[in-house]
């Protein structure tokens, strides 16, 4: 493993615009990816991949604000639309064409709900972007660290059922030469992690089990040593679930971007 | 002269007497159809009391969806056993109705098996319907077995207590009885044809009923005619009665499955509709130009307080639900013991809509304190993760999530009654542009110490 520790400079849109440049793609970091300590690692992995492939990218930095997804799903349409319109003003101000994001909630909102408010962009989830890069040969992934390892994949609701993306993340796993062990409920039948619809920000209603425990149990049943995720909220829920079974030393929950970055030793 | 007049008179009375059954049949048929259309009219009015929503776009996609999901029952296939049984009952319903058409013609004109003019095609059809009738009968018995002996859990959730279970039983028992009547009618008819009885000209093929009732052969023609007539009348009156049961039953899905899938959501499941009324308010607040702002009246309320705040497609969904419970059985909240059941959301919407319609038509006194929220509690609404498992599972594309979201909007924007933690999340978002309490200036802190192992 090389340890060159070369610093990566992450340009903001403001800096690029000042130089009269436009990036190929805007990396929408999202609130979890910006503030949540665990999700920041996903953000960093994604930036390392972007940097490694030489794609010109930028972030909005402090000009980025929550897409409004949890507000909308919690019934606060006012707050959602205020967030959306402010973000759209910023995005349109920079004439953004293509956005990649590592959060399926941001992905869904930007792609499906911003057009009605005047924000039309090509929006891709980072797993789709990774697949595009692999398919076009801009990113080569050698099995390396995960060759032959058992990995199970948790479909997030907002990438899966909400937007019908099931194959792109699986193709990325294939490129890692890992052995994909599907859970009993997967793809369109995949079980939610319990965080969507603004549940992430509140205690669950009264019940006899937590949803993430149910899902983690199912993931552990596959015997996989890695649970692959594509969403920072699923990440939190699945990690908590695995911890609940005291399996955190044996089973890692990793985002697809982290798997790729680790396989390539980025 | 006088005797011949007497003869003429008695002949016409005799002819009239013969017409009596046809007249009675015409009256019953007319009454049955009239009553059914009247009740369907009420349901239509109830559905149209919902908000307007334009689903007139993408016509060819809509036809394809209807063909695939309603006609082809594509979403039933995930559970193969009920899929096969359901397909048999469905095919039986559609095809055996061709024979019902003949029964109606025979009833009106006093003919016997008028479609016999089709010759061998007719024989094949009647023979096929007989096989189908037996398969339908067996399927209904198996459905009852699944429900009450195997006790499949989704048929015994709390919302299934009382009328919903009785309704399900009624439907299956009625179908069994109707199929039996059809087979008895055919068997008696076949035997009479064999005996060469008057009026019972040889027509049709009866591969099943001819075997089912061998004892008929030894009966007198008079007894057989009585059996045939009773079964015939019982069958057709039973069908008309069943038709009139539909508007009061979950079984109405056999009709609404088609328009419901045609008008179902074609956009990505994750896309929630934009609230135009809010868009105008937000634009004005932000000092942005609003098109036609002077003409648009300010919105009366936000979100769904009652059924008429929902869209008409939400309300059609409620009448299309046949309470199979696939939505509830895949709901993560329900599976982990929470109160939420998407099926109950649909059943409650229908129950409240029925009540709403009766109040509108002056059949029920209005209780101002009651609305849709009297049926669906906040605890149910706040348990939803918006995961879309329910909408994916529904065999007729019902969307309970859309109702849940509109009811949440009412709770938050009209009642300010969100759970405290969500109010905190709103405040954070307003102040910091993030659902957590982090200063916006920290948003890009993560990039400060970023290094790569690659040169």
Beta strand pairing status for A179-180 and A57-58?
unpaired
Query: B388 CA to chain A: closest CA distance, Å?
Result: 6
Q: Which residue in A150, A197, A216, A51 sits closest to B272, CA to CA?
A: A197
Q: Determine what percent of chain A is predicted with pLDDT higher than 70.
A: 98
The predicted structure's pLDDT at residue B124: 93
C-beta atoms of B388 and A195 within 8 A: no
Task: Compute the distance between CA of residue B42 and CA of residue B32 in angstroms, rounded to an integer.
Answer: 16
CB count, 10 Å around CB of B401?
A: 24
- End-to-end CA, chain A: 10
Helix (H, G, I), strand (E, B) or coil at B311: strand
C-beta atoms of B455 and A199 within 8 A: no
- Nearest-by-CA chain A residue for B429: A66
**pLDDT of A2 over the 60 cut:** no
Spatial CB neighbours of B345, under 8 Å, sequence gap ≥ 6: B376, B380, B400, B403, B404
Query: A249 CA to chain B: closest CA distance, Å?
Result: 25
- Nearest-by-CA chain B residue for A114: B274
C-beta atoms of B269 and A5 within 8 A: no
Task: Compute the distance between CA of residue B418 and CA of residue B382 in angstroms, rounded to an integer.
Answer: 9
Contacts of B383 in chain A (CB under 8 A): 204-205, 207
C-beta atoms of A7 and B450 within 8 A: yes
Q: Which residue in A50, A149, A113 sits closest to B275, CA to CA?
A: A113
Who among A8, A76, A162 is closest to B452 (CB)?
Answer: A8
Size of interface A-B (CB pairs under 8 A): 250
The predicted structure's pLDDT at residue B295: 67
Q: Which residue in A55, A46, A102 sits closest to A266, CA to CA?
A: A46
Contacts of A8 in chain B (CB under 8 A): 447, 450-452
Helix (H) or strand (E) holding B139: helix B120-148
Task: Compute the distance between CA of residue B132 and CA of residue B98 in angstroms, rounded to an integer.
Answer: 13
C-beta atoms of A192 and B389 within 8 A: yes
Helix (H) or strand (E) holding B233: helix B221-245
- Nearest-by-CA chain B residue for A53: B454
Long-range interactions of B361-364: CB distance < 8 A, separation 24+: B361/B42
Who among A2, A85, A194 is closest to B332 (CB)?
Answer: A194
The predicted structure's pLDDT at residue B297: 66
Contacts of A113 in chain B (CB under 8 A): 271-272, 274
- Could you give the count of Cα atoms lying within 13 Å of B369 in the half-sphere of its Cβ? 0
Find residues 23-82 of chain A whose CB sits inside 8 Å of chain B.
Answer: 29, 31, 33-36, 40, 43-44, 47-48, 51-52, 59, 61-62, 64-66, 68, 70-79, 81-82
Q: Which residue in B89, B140, B160, B132 sits closest to B322, CA to CA?
A: B160
Task: Compute the distance between CA of residue A18 and CA of residue A70 in angstroms, rounded to an integer.
Answer: 33
User: Tens digit of pLDDT for each residue in A181-205?
Assistant: 999 999 999 999 999 999 999 999 9
Facing residues of A124 across strands?
A100
ipTM score of complex:
0.96
Task: Compute the distance between CA of residue B412 and CA of residue B229 in angstroms, rounded to an integer.
Answer: 63
CB count, 10 Å around CB of B336?
A: 22
Give which of B387, B424, B445 to mutate to test A binding, by max A Cβ within 10 Å: B387
In angstroms, the Cα distances linking B318 to B76, B307, B364 are 19, 10, 21
| Partner B contacted by A152 (CB < 8 A) | no
The predicted structure's pLDDT at residue B82: 95
Q: Which residue in B291, B225, B263, B250 sits closest to B159, CA to CA?
A: B250
Task: Compute the distance between CA of residue B42 and CA of residue B354 in angstroms, rounded to an integer.
Answer: 9
Task: Compute the distance between CA of residue B150 and CA of residue B173 in angstroms, rounded to an integer.
Answer: 17
Who among B303, B336, B339 is closest to A209 (CB)?
Answer: B336
Helix (H, G, I), strand (E, B) or coil at B451: strand
C-beta atoms of A206 and B339 within 8 A: yes
Task: Compute the distance between CA of residue B94 and CA of residue B382 in angstroms, rounded to an integer.
Answer: 42
Q: pLDDT averaged over consecutive 10-residue blocks of chain B (455 residues)?
A: 55 76 94 98 98 96 98 95 96 88 93 91 93 96 97 95 97 96 94 91 89 86 94 95 97 97 98 93 87 68 96 98 97 98 98 98 95 98 98 98 98 96 97 96 94 83
The residue written with tokens 């801009």 in the block is: A138
Who among B270, B303, B436 is closest to A112 (CB)?
Answer: B270
Beta strand pairing status for B451-452 and A6-7?
antiparallel
Contacts of A218 in chain B (CB under 8 A): none
Least confident of A72-76, A222-226, B285-289, B411-415: B285-289
The predicted structure's pLDDT at residue B37: 98
**pLDDT of A160 over the 80 cut:** yes
DSSP letter string over B142-204?
HHHHHHHTS--GGGGSGGGTTHHHHHHHHHHHHHHHHHHHHHHHHHHHHHHHHHT-TT----S
Spatial CB neighbours of B185, under 8 Å, sequence gap ≥ 6: B228, B231, B232, B235
User: Tens digit of pLDDT for each residue in A114-127?
Assistant: 999 999 999 999 99
C-beta of residue B416 within 8 angstroms of C-beta of residue B408: no
Length of chain B: 455
- End-to-end CA, chain B: 126
User: Tens digit of pLDDT for each residue in A26-43?
Assistant: 999 999 999 999 999 999
Contacts of A12 in chain B (CB under 8 A): 444
C-beta of residue A161 within 8 angstroms of C-beta of residue B394: no
What is chain B's Cα-based Rg?
A: 30
In angstroms, the Cα distances linking B258 to A135, A231, B43, B395 are 41, 37, 15, 11
Helix (H) or strand (E) holding B61: helix B59-65
C-beta of residue A81 within 8 angstroms of C-beta of residue B278: yes
How high is the mean pLDDT of chain A?
A: 96
The predicted structure's pLDDT at residue B455: 67
The predicted structure's pLDDT at residue A1: 46
The predicted structure's pLDDT at residue B449: 85
Contacts of B418 in chain A (CB under 8 A): 74-76
Q: Which residue in A25, A11, A31 sits closest to A99, CA to CA?
A: A25
C-beta of residue B453 within 8 angstroms of C-beta of residue A266: yes
Task: Compute the distance between CA of residue B267 and CA of residue A19 in angstroms, rounded to an integer.
Answer: 39
Q: Kindly state the DSSP code that residue B274 receives in the 8-state scheme.
A: P
The predicted structure's pLDDT at residue B17: 76
Who among A29, A59, A162 is closest to B268 (CB)?
Answer: A162
Task: Compute the distance between CA of residue A176 and CA of residue A159 in angstroms, rounded to an integer.
Answer: 21
* Domains defined along chain A, listed by start: 13-131 (3.40.50.1860), 141-263 (3.40.50)
- Nearest-by-CA chain A residue for B386: A197
Q: Which residue in B69, B84, B98, B393 sits closest to B258, CA to CA?
A: B69
- Could you give the count of Cα atoms lying within 13 Å of B280 in the half-sphere of its Cβ? 13
Task: Compute the distance between CA of residue B392 and CA of residue B330 in angstroms, rounded to an integer.
Answer: 9
The predicted structure's pLDDT at residue A3: 59
Task: Compute the distance between CA of residue A216 and CA of residue A242 in angstroms, rounded to an integer.
Answer: 6
Who among B408, B436, B453 is closest to A31 (CB)?
Answer: B436
Who among B388, B409, B446 is closest to A162 (CB)?
Answer: B388
Who among A6, A81, A192 is closest to B332 (CB)?
Answer: A192
The predicted structure's pLDDT at residue B13: 76
C-beta atoms of B336 and A113 within 8 A: no
User: Tens digit of pLDDT for each residue in A228-240?
Assistant: 999 999 999 999 9
Contacts of B285 in chain A (CB under 8 A): 82
The predicted structure's pLDDT at residue B1: 44
Burial A170-206 (b: 16+ CB within 10 A, else e): bebbebbbbebbebebbebbbbbbbbbbbbbbbebbe
Helix (H) or strand (E) holding B452: strand B451-452
Map chain A to HEC letters: CCCCCEECCCCEHHHHHHCCCCCCEEEECHHHHHHCHHHHHHHHHHHHHHHHHCCCEEECHHHCCCCCHHHHHCCCHHHHHHHHHHHHHHHHHCCCCEEEECCHHHHHHHHHHCHHHCCCCEEEEHHHHHHHHHHCCCCCCCCHHHCCCEEEECCCCCCCCCCCCCHHHHHHHHHCCCEECCCCCCHHHCCCCCCCCCHHHCCCCCCCCCHHHHHHHHHHHCCCCEEEECCHHHHHHHHHHHHHCCCCCCCEEEEHHHHHHHHCCC
Give which of A5, A29, A75 to mutate to test B binding, by max B Cβ within 10 Å: A75
The predicted structure's pLDDT at residue B172: 97
Question: Which CATH number is correct for B300-429, 1.10.1060, 3.40.720, 1.20.920, 1.25.40?
Answer: 1.10.1060
C-beta atoms of A78 and B267 within 8 A: no
Contacts of B433 in chain A (CB under 8 A): 64-66, 83
DSSP letter string over B369-427?
T-SGGGTS-HHHHTT-----HHHHH-TT---HHHHHHHHHHIIIIIT----HHHHHHHH
């Amino acid at each position: 493993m090389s340890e060159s520790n070369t610093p990566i400079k992450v340009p903001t849109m403001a800096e690029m615009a000042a130089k009269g440049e436009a990036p190929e793609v805007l990396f929408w970091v999202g609130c979890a990816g910006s503030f949540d300590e665990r999700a920041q690692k996903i953000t960093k992995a994604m930036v390392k991949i972007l940097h490694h492939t030489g794609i010109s990218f930028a972030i909005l930095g402090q000009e980025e604000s929550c897409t409004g997804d949890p507000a909308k799903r919690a019934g606060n349409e006012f707050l959602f639309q205020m967030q959306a319109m402010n973000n759209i003003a910023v995005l349109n101000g920079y004439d953004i064409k293509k956005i990649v994001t590592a959060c399926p909630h941001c992905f869904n909102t930007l792609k499906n709900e911003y057009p009605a408010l005047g924000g039309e962009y090509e929006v891709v989830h980072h797993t789709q972007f990774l697949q595009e890069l692999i398919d076009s040969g801009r990113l080569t992934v050698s099995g390396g660290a995960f060759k032959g390892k058992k990995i199970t994949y948790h479909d997030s609701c907002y990438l899966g059922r909400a937007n019908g993306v099931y194959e792109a993340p699986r193709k990325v796993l294939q490129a890692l030469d890992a052995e994909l062990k599907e859970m009993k409920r997967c793809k369109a039948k995949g079980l939610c992690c319990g965080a969507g619809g603004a549940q992430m920000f509140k205690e669950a209603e009264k019940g006899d089990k937590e949803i993430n425990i149910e899902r983690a149990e199912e993931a552990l049943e596959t015997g996989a040593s890695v649970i692959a995720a594509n969403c920072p909220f699923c990440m939190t829920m699945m990690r908590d679930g695995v911890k609940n079974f005291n399996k955190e030393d044996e089973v890692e929950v990793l985002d697809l971007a982290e798997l790729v970055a680790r396989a390539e030793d980025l | 002269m006088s005797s011949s007049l007497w003869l003429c008179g008695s002949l016409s009375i005799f002819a009239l007497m013969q017409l009596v059954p046809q007249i009675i049949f015409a009256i019953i048929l007319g009454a049955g159809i009239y009553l059914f259309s009247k009740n369907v009219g009420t349901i239509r009015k109830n559905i149209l009391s919902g908000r307007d929503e334009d689903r007139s776009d993408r016509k060819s996609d809509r036809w394809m969806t209807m063909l695939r999901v309603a006609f082809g029952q594509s979403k039933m296939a995930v559970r193969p056993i009920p899929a096969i049984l359901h397909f048999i009952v469905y095919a039986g319903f559609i095809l055996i109705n061709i024979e019902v058409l003949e029964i109606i013609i025979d009833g009106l004109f006093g003919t016997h098996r008028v479609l016999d003019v089709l010759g061998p095609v007719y024989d094949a059809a009647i023979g096929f319907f007989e096989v189908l009738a037996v398969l339908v009968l067996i399927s209904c018995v198996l459905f009852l077995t699944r429900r009450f002996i195997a006790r499949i859990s989704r048929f015994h959730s709390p919302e299934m207590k009382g009328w919903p279970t009785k309704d399900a039983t009624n439907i299956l028992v009625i179908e069994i009885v109707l199929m039996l009547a059809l087979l008895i009618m055919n068997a008696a008819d076949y035997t009479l044809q064999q005996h060469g009885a008057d009026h019972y000209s040889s027509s049709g093929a009866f591969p099943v009923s001819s075997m089912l009732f061998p004892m008929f052969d030894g009966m007198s023609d008079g007894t057989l005619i009585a059996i045939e007539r009773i079964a015939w009348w019982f069958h057709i009156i039973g069908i008309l009665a069943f038709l009139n049961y539909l508007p009061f039953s979950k079984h109405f899905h056999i009709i609404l499955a088609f328009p419901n899938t045609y008008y179902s959501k074609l956009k990505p499941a994750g896309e929630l509709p934009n609230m135009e009324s809010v868009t105008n308010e937000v634009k004005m607040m932000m000092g942005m130009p609003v098109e036609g702002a002077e003409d648009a009246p300010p919105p009366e309320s936000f979100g769904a307080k009652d059924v008429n705040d929902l869209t008409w497609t939400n309300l059609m969904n409620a009448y299309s639900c046949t309470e199979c419970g696939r939505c509830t059985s895949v709901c993560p909240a329900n599976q982990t013991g929470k109160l939420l059941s998407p099926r109950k959301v649909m059943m409650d919407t229908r129950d409240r809509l029925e009540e709403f319609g009766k109040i509108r038509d002056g059949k029920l006194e209005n209780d101002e304190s009651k609305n849709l929220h009297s049926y669906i509690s906040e605890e149910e609404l706040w348990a939803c993760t918006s995961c879309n498992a329910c909408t994916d599972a529904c065999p007729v594309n019902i969307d309970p999530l859309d109702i849940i979201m509109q009811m949440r909007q009412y709770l938050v924007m009209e009642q300010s009654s969100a759970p405290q933690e969500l109010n905190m999340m709103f405040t954070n978002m307003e102040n910091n542009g993030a659902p957590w309490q982090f200063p916006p200036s920290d948003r890009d802190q993560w990039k400060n110490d970023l290094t790569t192992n690659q040169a």
